[in-house]
Amino acid sequence: MYETERLMIRPFSVEDDAEFLLELYNMPDFIKYIGDRKIRTVEDAQNYIKSKFLPQISRLGFGNCVVLLKENSEKIGGVGIFEREGLDVADIGFSVLKKYEGQGFMFEAAQKLMSVVHEDFGLNKISAITTKDNFSSQKLIEKLGLKYQKMVTIPGDTEELMYFETE
């Protein structure tokens, strides 16, 4: 578990976080900007955590984490660093419940995770991808110090995405 001034960040757990993942990944903005992960039930969410999140954490030591408020342990979002097919550099992603947008929580969580993977895992570069119309993500990515490089298409997808990278 990692901590910041206001947050706790820990890997997603099958037992504790499936209901939250179901809620987070079915938000209209998540589906619009990130995509529909076809998670419709708690069981779907448990299987997603088992098949998508846990293998990378076991293999690399880092991956997708749940973000909680330190003051009351309320789950507010997710942040992760991923190895993604089609990208040479591990990329950071984040999502937050609507009522917590615009309060700097994802900046705080993403900044901490970037620091951890640099210091503990030796990752010197981080990338990020987002859609052309996801202006709030673009702003956060740039605030984290990543610079726009080019448009990319991820294998298995047709949408062109903006690709950012640390320098």
pLDDT in tens, 72-102: 999 999 999 999 888 999 999 999 999 999 9
Q: Where are the domains of the chain?
A: 2-165
pLDDT in tens, 114-125: 999 999 999 999
Per the CATH hierarchy, to which homologous superfamily does domain 2-165 belong?
Answer: Gcn5-related N-acetyltransferase (GNAT) (3.40.630.30)
Burial-class residue 128 by CB neighbours within 10 Å (0-12, 13-18, 19+): buried
The confidence score (pLDDT) of residue 167 equals 84
